């Protein structure tokens, strides 16, 4: 039985048994990586399985392990998803709050880009670098400003974030609407076809990338949102974006 798969699906009892080796002669390797380059801890963190995360950490799973493809960590993944208790558990297990992906992205950027204010607060309290820059120069504040996430913007400014210029961070009319803090990337990731169409009509940049370098087309394709894929392609989304 595969530890990664049972961790991904949240089967805490089976995870604990595999860790102890009660069902098999050898104990499962808690730091083994799947073909995707993810560990069981990353999979559980992504899907919000707190009890599984706690069991893996208790078994000395590496809280700072990085995936093979983009260098992400469990903390970055949980921050993006907004799984606050998992973020707290990982930080308590000495996860590096300023760990960087291959493109320079951090957990704070992920939480800011996906409008996770409670996670942002926890990361800032854990001494996340509020002015860290991705390889392309983008900061957490730039992500939040671009999407019109005023609550996140305020939190980051209060923590000492440097203010980007309007030229550095273009904001679409849709993102600037009061109360709206949701990008084309978010809508594509979440499968919200109506929002995707509305933002495309508002001339949102169809080839814009998130903190991890992924485009809306990449997100929609990975999640299997076929209608959104067709809408993005019709809007001239680049199929060769990397």
Tokens 């089967």 map to which residue? 11
> Are 202 and 193 in contact, with CB atoms under 8 Å apart?
no
Alpha carbons 218 and 227: distance in angstroms, whole number: 13
* Identical fold, 1-96 and 172-242: yes
Q: Is the pLDDT of residue 166 over 80?
A: no
Map out the domains of the chain as residue ranges: 1-96, 172-242
Q: Which two tokens stand for residue 62?
A: 């590496």
Q: Is 21 exposed, middle or buried (0-12, 13-18, 19+ CB in 10 A)?
A: exposed
DSSP string, 15-56: HHHHHHTSSSSS---TT-B-TTS-BHHHHHHHTT-HHHHHHH
Per the model's pLDDT, the better-predicted residue between 52 and 1 turns out to be 52
How crowded is the C-beta side of 195, counted as CA atoms within 13 Å? 16
List pLDDT tens digits, range 211-239: 677 899 999 998 899 999 999 999 999 99
CATH topology of domain 1-96: 1.25.40
Architecture of domain 172-242: Alpha Horseshoe (1.25)
Question: What is the C-alpha radius of gyration for the chain, rounded to an integer number of angstroms?
Answer: 19
pTM of the model: 0.76
Rounded Cα distance, 42 and 25, in Å: 25
Mean pLDDT of the 9-25 span: 85
Per the model's pLDDT, the better-predicted residue between 236 and 171 turns out to be 236
In this predicted structure, the answer to whether residue 6 has a pLDDT above a threshold of 50 is: yes
């Amino acid at each position: 039985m595969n530890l990664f798969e049972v961790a991904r699906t949240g089967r805490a009892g089976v995870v604990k048994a595999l860790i102890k080796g009660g069902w098999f002669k050898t104990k499962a390797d808690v730091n083994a990586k799947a073909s995707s380059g993810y560990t069981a801890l990353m999979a559980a963190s992504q899907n919000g399985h707190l009890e599984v995360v706690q069991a893996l950490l208790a078994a000395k799973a590496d809280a700072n392990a990085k995936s093979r493809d983009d260098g992400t960590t469990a903390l970055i993944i949980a921050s993006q998803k907004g799984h606050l208790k998992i973020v707290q558990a990982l930080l308590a297990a000495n996860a590096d709050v300023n760990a960087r992906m291959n493109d320079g992205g951090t957990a704070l950027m992920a939480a800011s880009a996906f409008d996770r204010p409670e996670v942002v607060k926890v990361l800032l309290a854990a001494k996340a670098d509020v002015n860290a820059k991705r390889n392309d120069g983008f900061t957490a504040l730039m992500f939040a400003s671009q999407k019109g996430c005023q609550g996140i913007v305020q939190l980051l400014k209060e923590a000492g974030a440097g203010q980007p210029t309007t030229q550095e961070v273009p904001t679409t009319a849709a993102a600037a609407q009061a109360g709206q803090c949701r990008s084309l990337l978010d809508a594509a990731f979440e499968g919200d076809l109506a929002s995707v169409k509305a933002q495309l009509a508002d001339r949102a940049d169809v080839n814009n990338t998130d903190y991890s370098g992924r485009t809306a087309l990449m997100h929609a394709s990975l999640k299997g949102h076929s209608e959104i894929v067709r809408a993005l392609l019709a809007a001239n989304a680049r199929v060769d974006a990397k």
